[in-house]
């Protein structure tokens, strides 16, 4: 298919591009980007007034398949991703069974090829069944196609085991991604420990649970030389420690989920279980530190930490409800609304953190619009206002922390491998 995108504002941070240009695509690749291109095409997209970017890359998605297809499947997660302009995502290993062996990794790769929707990159678990007791066969995971190892959902509590995992990861040249949490400090906490948790009478998780685990990971990464990525950072202590480690040359990258730069623990008032997640939404002091860390590039990447649940898992008293928020359909709009519109960072900066920055960490040739690159493209109307309506979500999980909130910015077209997957906000 030959596609010509006309007169859009093309933003490609990798190539320092931000100008009104045309993009010509054929054979699944980007053929030319210039002013006033004149090609015969099967489809011409008038992108006047719209923003054309590399397809977004999400480094943290819980697809629930295999095992909990009632919550989400690789197919429904892919459709939700397309609706949000996400053309590639990393699937976390906390499925059932856990992706701790070759067969689960191969299943995900095969299933995503059959679906032919978005590019899905599976991860393998650091430890068998994510139990934190015995290491998975890291080399086997790598050879079967896992892009990284992580015990996301939990953290490896045993420092000796984590150090060995980092040593193996280094030997195999594998990225290790850590969910930073200290179990003995979290205990039965269900939200951020602070003024709001006291008001609500709910047990809190202190920031120290995350701070200590981040320090542990940084110290071991420095000692082993492993390449690590810290998932969903949410505290002032975490970003301060990462900033220092980066100045020392530790091989670390860091992300924040879009929830954690936009919302605070005050969302939990009314016992709103869609605001229950791990790490918890923090107080304003932490939110401000996270936003500063985004400006300073201490935070490299934005993710969704997309965590779909069935309704009964959230329709419970707050203390018993499941942790997590969906996010694939809203992440760009949240970043645009809470960071760009509030003049905290620029539009090219948020696009960088959702395209080329994750691609470079994952070492995949995605997230840019160079000539010859895969034609994975998103086209956004950055001024469109809309209200997040769970009944319209393509994800099986309706548990979005932004439900009923007004956001600005919506994806209109998603193109993957040169095929139009969404047109005028409708899945093709
Ligand atoms: Zn996690």
Give 94 Cα–ligand 1 centroid separation in angstroms.
10
What per-residue confidence (pLDDT) applies to 77? 98
The pLDDT > 70 percentage for the chain reads: 100
Q: How confident is the model at residue 161 (pLDDT cuts 50, 70, 90)?
A: very high
Give 351 Cα–ligand 1 centroid separation in angstroms.
23
- Report residue 37 as tokens: 């291109």
Give 147 Cα–ligand 1 centroid separation in angstroms.
17
Give the DSSP H or E segment for 6.
Answer: strand 3-12
Give 176 Cα–ligand 1 centroid separation in angstroms.
13
Structure letter (DSSP) for residue 280? P
Q: For residue 66, is the peptide bond before it cis, meaning its omega torsion is within 30 degrees of 0?
A: yes
Calculate ∠ Cα 164-168-170, nearest 5°. Answer: 115
Cα-only R_g, the chain: 21
What per-residue confidence (pLDDT) applies to 296? 98
What per-residue confidence (pLDDT) applies to 20? 98
What per-residue confidence (pLDDT) applies to 81? 98
CA separation for the pair 224, 218 (Å, rounded): 10
CA separation for the pair 149, 138 (Å, rounded): 8
Give 269 Cα–ligand 1 centroid separation in angstroms.
23
Spatial CA neighbour of 142 closest among 116, 115, 165: 165
Q: Are 278 and 231 in contact (CB under 8 A)?
A: no
Give 153 Cα–ligand 1 centroid separation in angstroms.
4
CA separation for the pair 218, 331 (Å, rounded): 28
The pLDDT > 90 percentage for the chain reads: 100
What per-residue confidence (pLDDT) applies to 230? 98
Structure letter (DSSP) for residue 339? I
Counting every residue written for the chain, the total comes to 428
Q: What is the largest CA-CA distance in the chain?
A: 65
Give 15 Cα–ligand 1 centroid separation in angstroms.
32
Could you tell me the CA-to-CA distances from 227 to 60, 75, 171 in Å, in that order? 17, 31, 10
Give 365 Cα–ligand 1 centroid separation in angstroms.
25
CA separation for the pair 346, 428 (Å, rounded): 31
Q: How confident is the model at residue 271 (pLDDT cuts 50, 70, 90)?
A: very high
> Mind listing the pLDDT tens digit for each residue in 327-379?
999 999 999 999 999 999 999 999 999 999 999 999 999 999 999 999 999 99
CA separation for the pair 249, 256 (Å, rounded): 20
Give 233 Cα–ligand 1 centroid separation in angstroms.
9
What per-residue confidence (pLDDT) applies to 165? 98
> Mind listing the pLDDT tens digit for each residue in 141-158?
999 999 999 999 999 999
| Angle at which helices 284-295 and 236-247 cross, to 10° | 30
Give 340 Cα–ligand 1 centroid separation in angstroms.
26
What per-residue confidence (pLDDT) applies to 137? 95
Average pLDDT over every residue of 262-272: 98
Domains by residue range for the chain, with CATH: 3-51+374-385+406-427 (2.30.40.10), 55-362 (3.20.20.140)
Give 279 Cα–ligand 1 centroid separation in angstroms.
7
CA separation for the pair 365, 354 (Å, rounded): 14
Q: Are 23 and 33 in contact (CB under 8 A)?
A: yes
What residues are labeled active site?
A: 305
Give 231 Cα–ligand 1 centroid separation in angstroms.
6
Q: Are 308 and 396 in contact (CB under 8 A)?
A: yes
Return the SS3 of 177.
Answer: strand
CA separation for the pair 248, 275 (Å, rounded): 36
- Within the chain, how many helices (H) and strands (E) appear? 13, 19
Looking at the whole model, is its pTM more than 0.85?
yes
Return the SS3 of 49.
Answer: coil
What per-residue confidence (pLDDT) applies to 108? 97
Half-sphere exposure (Cβ direction) of 88: Cα atoms closer than 13 Å: 25
Structure letter (DSSP) for residue 54? E
């Amino acid at each position: 298919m030959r596609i010509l995108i006309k007169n859009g504002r093309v933003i490609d941070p990798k190539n320092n591009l931000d100008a009104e240009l045309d993009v010509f695509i054929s054979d699944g690749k980007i053929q030319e980007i210039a002013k006033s291109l004149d090609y015969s095409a099967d489809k011409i997209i008038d992108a006047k007034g719209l923003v054309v970017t590399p397809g977004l890359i999400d480094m943290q998605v819980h697809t629930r398949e295999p095992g909990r297809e009632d919550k989400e499947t690789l197919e429904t997660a892919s459709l939700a991703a397309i609706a949000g302009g996400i053309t590639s995502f990393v699937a976390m290993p906390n499925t059932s069974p856990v992706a701790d062996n070759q067969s689960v990794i191969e299943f995900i790769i095969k299933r995503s090829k059959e679906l032919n929707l978005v590019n899905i990159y599976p991860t393998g678990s650091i430890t068998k069944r994510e139990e934190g007791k015995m290491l998975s066969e890291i080399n086997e995971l790598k050879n079967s196609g896992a892009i990284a190892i992580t015990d996301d959902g939990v953290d490896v509590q045993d420092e000796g085991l984590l150090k060995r995992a980092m040593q193996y990861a280094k030997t195999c040249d594998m990225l290790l991604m850590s969910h930073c949490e200290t179990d003995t400090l979290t205990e039965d906490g269900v939200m951020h420990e602070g003024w709001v948790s006291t008001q609500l009478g709910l047990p809190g998780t202190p920031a120290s649970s995350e701070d200590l685990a981040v320090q542990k990971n940084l110290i071991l990464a420095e000692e082993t030389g492993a390449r690590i990525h810290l998932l969903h950072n949410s505290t002032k202590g975490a970003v301060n420690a990462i900033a220092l480690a980066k100045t020392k040359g530790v091989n670390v990258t860091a992300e924040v989920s879009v929830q954690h730069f936009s919302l605070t623990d005050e969302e939990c008032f009314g016992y709103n279980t869609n605001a229950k997640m791990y790490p918890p939404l923090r107080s304003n002091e932490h939110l401000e530190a996270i936003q500063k860390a985004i400006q300073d590039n201490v935070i490299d990447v934005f993710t969704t930490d997309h965590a779909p649940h069935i309704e009964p898992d959230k329709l419970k008293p707050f203390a018993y409800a499941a942790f997590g928020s969906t996010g694939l359909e809203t992440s760009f709009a949240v970043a645009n609304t809470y960071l760009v519109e509030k003049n905290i960072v620029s539009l090219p900066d948020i696009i960088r953190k959702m395209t080329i920055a994750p691609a470079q960490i994952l070492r995949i040739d995605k997230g840019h619009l160079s000539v010859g690159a895969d034609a994975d493209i998103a086209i956004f109307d950055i001024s469109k206002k809309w209200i997040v309506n769970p009944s319209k979500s393509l994800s099986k999980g309706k548990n979005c922390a932004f439900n009923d909130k007004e956001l600005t910015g919506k994806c209109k077209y998603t193109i993957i491998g040169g095929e139009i997957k969404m047109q005028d906000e409708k899945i093709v």
